Each structure stands twice: as C-alpha cells, then as structure tokens.
Amino acid sequence: MSALLKPRAEPRRDFKYVGKRPVRHDGPDKVTGRANYGADFTLPGMIHGVVVRSPFAHARILSIDTREAEAMPGVKAVITGKDIIENRAQVSMGEGSGDMHDVGENCLAHGKTLYHGHVVAAVAAMTLAQAQAAARLIKVQYEKLTPVLDIESAIAPGAPILHDHLRTEGRAAGAPDGPTNIAARAVLERGSLEQGFAAADLVIEREFRTRMVHQGYIEPHACVARYSPDGQVFIWCSTQGPFQVRGACAAVLGMDLGRIKVVPSEIGGGFGGKTTIYLEPLAVALSRKASLPVKMVMTREEVLRATGPTPGSRTRVKMGMKKDGRLTAASVTMHCDSGAFAGLAHRSTAMCCLSAYRIPNFFIESHSVLTNKPKVAAYRAPGAPMAMFPVESLLDEFAQKLGMDPIDLRLLNAMEEGDAAPYGPKYGPIGFRETLLAAKGHPHWSAPLKPNQGRGVAAGFWFNAGLNSSAVVTLDADGSAAVVTGNPDIGGTRAAQAQMVAEELDIPVERVRPSVGDTDSVGYTDVTGGSRVCFATGMAVIQAAEDVRRQLCARAAKIWNVEAEAVTWSEGAAHPPAGSDKKPLTLKELAAQMARTGGPIIGRASLSAPAAGPAFAVNICDLEVDKETGVSRVVRYTAIQDAGKAVHPSYVEGQMQGGAAQGIGWALNEEYRFDAEGKMENASFLDYRMPVASDLPMIDTVIVEVPNPTHPYGVRGVGEVPIVPPLGAVANAMARAIGVRFTELPLSPMRVLEGLNQG
C-alpha cells in the first residue's frame, strides 16, 4: 500500500503526464526475454576469455610462465600485468575521480597481489573450456606476504604496507610522512567541542562496527570487446556508465579515447557496483593480441570474491544533549575499510553522518584504510548507511534515557531550510520535518506490538548529485517522438524521461520512445548513480523537448508569415498572435509539414546540473525476536521519503522498497567473512545470505513531495536514500524488543544470542 502526501507547497505547475503511472516501455522486452543483457551478446568469430586469480591475499609476483597455456590447442592470446600500462591519470568514474593506476592494477596485478582473487593473468581461446584449461596451465611463482585483514591491523605501528608509495591525503599536522595504509583523511568541524559537551546534561559515547557487504546484483559482470585492425575498439558491456568505461579503458590501455565506442547492454542490477571496470580492458587487450572479438563473463563466485563491496567501518561517536532533548555537541571518528585500494566513502561518511540534525558544535574525522580485501565500490548512498547507523542508534538511546518519543526528539533537532549542512552550504527547501511528521502520523507508529517485538525508527540523508548530462529528442512525421540519453536505466528512468517529453510536447506517453545511446550517438553523460538521472538527465530531456517546441513555433511562424517570437505554445499546439484569424496548428499537423518547412526537427541539450536537492527519509521497523535462538524477522516495515516530485510514483515506491530490503539484509544477515589467510568464506548466494521475498513483509511506502527549486518539476533524486535508514531502524527495533543495544552489524542469530546471554 502506498500513500501520496500533499506537498507543503504547490508544485510549479499542474501536470498532465508527470506523476502518473504509465506502463513501462521496456516491460515487454524484459518479460518476454527479448532484452539483451551483458552476457547475451555475440559477434562473429568471437572467442572466450577467462582470468587467473591469486590464491593469496597478499603476495609478491616473482614470475609468470604462460608458455604451456599459449601452446594449448585453441588458445589465441594470453596477457599479464605488462599489458596494462601504469597510468596515474584521474578519470571521472561517477562517484568521484578514479586513480587509473589503482583501477588498472585492480584489473590486472603488476608486481603484487593485494587480495585473494586478484587477477594475475588472462587467456582467450576458441571455446570457454579451452580457455579454462589453458588458465590452469599458467604457472605463477609467489612470495607470500603477511595479509592485513582488519582496520586495527592496518593502522597499527609496524603493519605490513600494501603500497610503498602511499602517503595519507589530508593527513593531520604532525602525522608521519612515511608509507602508510591510511589512504586519505577528511575532516569537518564547527564550533567548540569543549563548550558543547560542557553544556550537555547527558553524554553518550559508543563504538560501532559494520562489515563489508555486496550490492548483490543478479546479473554478473560481462562484456564483449573487439579490437579492429585499424585500431578502433568496440565494447559491449553491462555498466552504469558507458562514458566512464570508455575513459577508464583508454587510460588503462594507453589508447586514444576517440577510438573506443562503448555500447551499454540492458543492465541486470548495479546499485553502484557497476560504475567501474573489471573485465573490459582485459577483453580489449586479449582481442588486440588475438585479432578476434573476446567475450568475458564472471561467475557468481568471482563477482563476490573480486568485485567491489561497500566498505566495512569502525566508528567512535560521542554526543551531548540537554535535558530538553536538544543536541549540543558531537564527535565522530570513522575508519572505512576500503580494501586494497583507496576508496571515496570516507568523504561521504563525513558529509552524511550529522547532516540531518542541528548540532552547533561538532568534529568529524573519517579515514580510508587499506586492507588485503577487494577494492570497494559504491553501493547506493556510498558510506551513508554506516555513517548514520551510529548516530541514529545514539539518538534512540537518548530518547530512552530522557523518556521522549524518538520521533519528537528528531523533530526537535531536525535540519530545516536555511540551516547550514556540516559540509558547508545552507539547505534550500528540504522535506526532513515532513517525513518525520508523516512517520509520526502513520498508523504504523501507534499500532500495538506483540510480546518479543520491538519498534525502531531511524532517518536517512543523501546529498544527491548533479554532474553532466545530454539528451536528444527527435520528432517524427506522425507526431511521435524519440528521446535518447546516455544513462543506462537501472531505476525506471526511461519511463520518466518519456513522461517528461510527453509533458513538454503534450503527446501521449505511449507516443514517446525512450532509449539509451552509446558513446558515439549521444553527448557525454556522467554515470547512472548518485540519484542524478531523473534530476540531471531529466533536466536535459526537458530542455531538449523545449528546443523541439521552439522549432515547432518557428515552423508555425513560417507557415503564417509572422515573427517567431509572436507564436506561443500551449495544449500541444502553436498559437498565432492575438487578433490573428489563423487557427492553431497542432504538433501532429506541424510534424507532417516538416519536410516542406525546413526539414527534420531535432532538439538537443547538454548541461552541467547544479547539485541536486538533498533528500531525507524516515523508516519504521517492527522486529520480532526469538529469545531462545536469537532468530529475528521483520514483521512490519514502513518507508517514508521526500521525492521532491515523483515523476513515476510506482518507480519511486520500488526504489524505496528495494533500498529498504537491501538495508534490512545488511542489518540482519549480510557480511563478508574471511578466514585467517584472507580468503572469503561465503562467496556464493547460498552462503552470502540476502533477503528474499519470503523473508520480508510487504514494505509500505509514503511519498512526501517538497519541491526541489533547482529542477523545473521539483524533482530530487530518490535512489540513494532508501538504503540509509534501515540499519538504524532495525538495530533500534532490536534494542526495544530485547533490551540489549547492539553496536555491531549484522544482527545474526549468533550475535543476538550472545548479546542476550551477556545481558
């Protein structure tokens, strides 16, 4: 069930198509199996590539002997680290710039292997079986090194160093200048901690931990690459950013960007995990050697073992509060387990952890720490869930100690328009109070609980992204239209873009054909991520449709022999100047005359969007716990979120429900488990336990609409925020159910039983 709350302020305009729920344009292809995903594509003469992975989490590569593999029947190419150049260029990878040395080294190791499963070689052969057999014949000699497997070991004095060249970016004054495993440090501060804690009547300090978890997309990484004799490269792959694949492959392979064309396939889930590259440069390098197209597809074990999970974390939080519930001070020190290469989550953790609440005095310090584990990648609101889980837990504890309603406590401290975010800018119109009030007024909040059940509430924040987008809208002679953008659709954005074109041109949504272009057919567009596509690319779509409208008005002016500025557009037609005896010309009539009035009509737009409006969410969770076994299950769940303007409410609800399901899994079950040598112990969906439909109740949704003034329709991104509140909501429900507050996730039955016994 879903409710749509009336916005605080009226939207900028009334909508005819936006806000409705049309049938998705890509639905028939997906349900009939016609949609082509990464592993579905083939080319004539195509051969198959596989990789050789390190059996050690930390080792020096002494030698690689590929002679036996190269002599195998059917083998066409073998590559090692020498085929990937060492390039320290910075290339935009969506969630921030990527160091191409790290990206290339992660794709194919040069001198050391830095996690179990790190690629050391790749081979391509006529059949997959031949390639697999040849890979087994590649002989690698290693010097095994001591692995660093947790944050404490990584930052301890005398710890084994992963990268001898590494120095801490943003290190504190007086910090050692030598090699380190702390890749970066971010600091935000305001006011005086000393004064803030002195003014507090109640101070709570706790340490919290979360584990690495994976996005769990169903489709594995897959690609096909063809290196032509003239040096032109074609890549078909499953990705959230074809332009990012092009830029990264060019840098890693030392190629001219303009020689690479990337075609994004239909994507079977990404959630941030497909914003980088793994197989693509290997397939190109193999194809270059073999002079044949190469296809590579990961197994599920490879996906879990060697692609980017979200960071684990260790966070120390201290907060002070007055008796009336007002926060006075907060200190947050966080270490993010980034795996074998520097990550970016330390920046977003610092930005997000306190961004929902007015706190006059704070100090935030966050670090990116390297360990011998897979290089982390984005996972929805990267860094925000583990950053807000400790804060939301402490707020619940404060509410219990003060005897206050936990929503009232949050309302008392909630950020509002005009308040300054911890990371600097003042908030414009935001919907945090509205989401809290919607939660407090929801029947779920006042419903009775059964024995062994607890109810938790938590908030979530994400700043959202703008970045660069392009769009093309083409008008057809029959009055229909096509819209092409460069963003792979992972959340229903094609339908939303069709609705926007329909809104601007006033034609039925079914008459608009949305599609995703390749890197040669549409202008540069940043990655699908950061909740930016409906906002930023949607803005480009609106501008491109407006360009079509302007051209239509100019065509009408030409027909009427009047000035174009005198022609207006409304209700799907061009209208002549006031007092004219001419009749309005509809879009269909004008489209039919394109050939006689100047030729085809194509609207274009490219833009660098301002930062999208920040988004907030509030979740309510009812958890039932079996105190004999420690087993818990979610029995009721409600997600409330400010969408700014829900272009397609069904997709917004789906984002909210999907994020909640993933966050619940993170809170209750999911974690990367490593043995003492650094080998992942649960690299399968059988052992890496994600929630399935039978594990969860129907997740109720409430869409709040507080229009975002930086978008023509008031849109603010919705895809990131839903995963942020569940960690705190589930943990708070657990504390209320059994009277034991946990500071480490996941809340697996063993951990809960341990807590009950200790309690």
User: Predicted confidence band at 99 (pLDDT cuts at 50, 70, 90)?
Assistant: confident
Q: What percent of the chain has pLDDT over 70?
A: 97
Angle between helices 242-253 and 280-290 (to 10 degrees): 60
pLDDT tens for each residue of 188-209: 999 999 999 999 999 999 999 9
Per residue in 422-450, pLDDT (tens digit) is 999 999 999 999 999 999 999 999 999 99
pLDDT of residue 4: 47
Q: Per-residue pLDDT for 2 more than 50?
A: no
Q: What is the pLDDT of residues 537-559, one digit of tens each?
A: 999 999 999 999 999 999 999 99
Does residue 424 sit in helix, strand or coil? coil
SS (H, E, C) 186-206: EEEEECCHHHHHHCCCEEEEE
pLDDT, greater one: 89 or 578? 578
* Structure tokens belonging to residue 29: 């292809």
Question: Please, what sign has the CA dihedral across residues 162, 164, 165, 171?
Answer: positive
13-17, 186-190, 247-251: which is most confident? 186-190
> Does the pLDDT of residue 460 top 50, yes or no?
yes
Q: Rounded to two decimals, what is the model's pTM?
A: 0.96
The chain-wide mean pLDDT, for the chain, equals 95
Sequence-separated (6 or more) residues with CB below 8 Å from residue 283: 49, 223, 224, 225, 235, 294, 295, 296
Residue 212 predicted with pLDDT over 60: yes
Whether the pLDDT of residue 712 is over 50: the answer is yes
Q: Which amino acid is at 115?
A: Y
User: How far apart are alpha carbons 510 and 505 in whole angstroms?
Assistant: 13
Q: CATH number of the domain at 466-609, please? A: 3.30.365.10
Beta bridge partners of 516: 485
Mean pLDDT, to the nearest integer, of 718-733? 98
Local confidence band at 9 (pLDDT 50, 70, 90 cut-offs) = very low
Residue 134: which pLDDT band, with cuts at 50, 70 and 90?
A: very high
Q: How confident is the model at residue 585 (pLDDT cuts 50, 70, 90)?
A: very high
* Torsion region of 280: left, alpha or beta (phi above 0 gives left; psi -120 to 50 gives alpha): alpha
pLDDT interval class at 94 (50, 70, 90)? low
pLDDT at res. 741: 97
87 or 346: which leads in pLDDT: 346
Averaged over 229-236, what is the pLDDT?
97
pLDDT tens digit sequence for 156-199: 999 999 999 999 999 988 887 889 999 999 999 999 999 999 99
* pLDDT of 178: 86
Considering the chain, what percentage of its residues have pLDDT values greater than 90?
Answer: 92
Confidence at residue 1, expressed as pLDDT on a 0 to 100 scale: 41
Residue 595, judged by CB atoms within 10 A of its CB (0-12, 13-18, 19+), counts as exposed
Residue 670 pLDDT exceeds 90: yes
Each residue of 679-705: pLDDT tens digit?
999 999 999 999 999 999 999 999 999
Show the tokens assigned to 542. 């609106």
| pLDDT (0 to 100) of residue 10 | 46
For residue 603, report the phi and psi dihedrals to the nearest 5 degrees.
-100, 140
Interval 367-392 mean pLDDT: 97
Q: What is the mean pLDDT of residues 471-484?
A: 98
Q: Which residue has the higher pLDDT, 84 or 446?
A: 446
Residue 405 burial (10 A CB sphere; 0-12, 13-18, 19+): middle
Domain boundary assignment for the chain: 466-609
Instruction: State residue 95's pLDDT score.
Output: 57
Residue 83's pLDDT is what?
87
5, pLDDT greater than 50? no
List the end-to-end C-alpha distance of the chain, in Å, as a whole number. Answer: 38
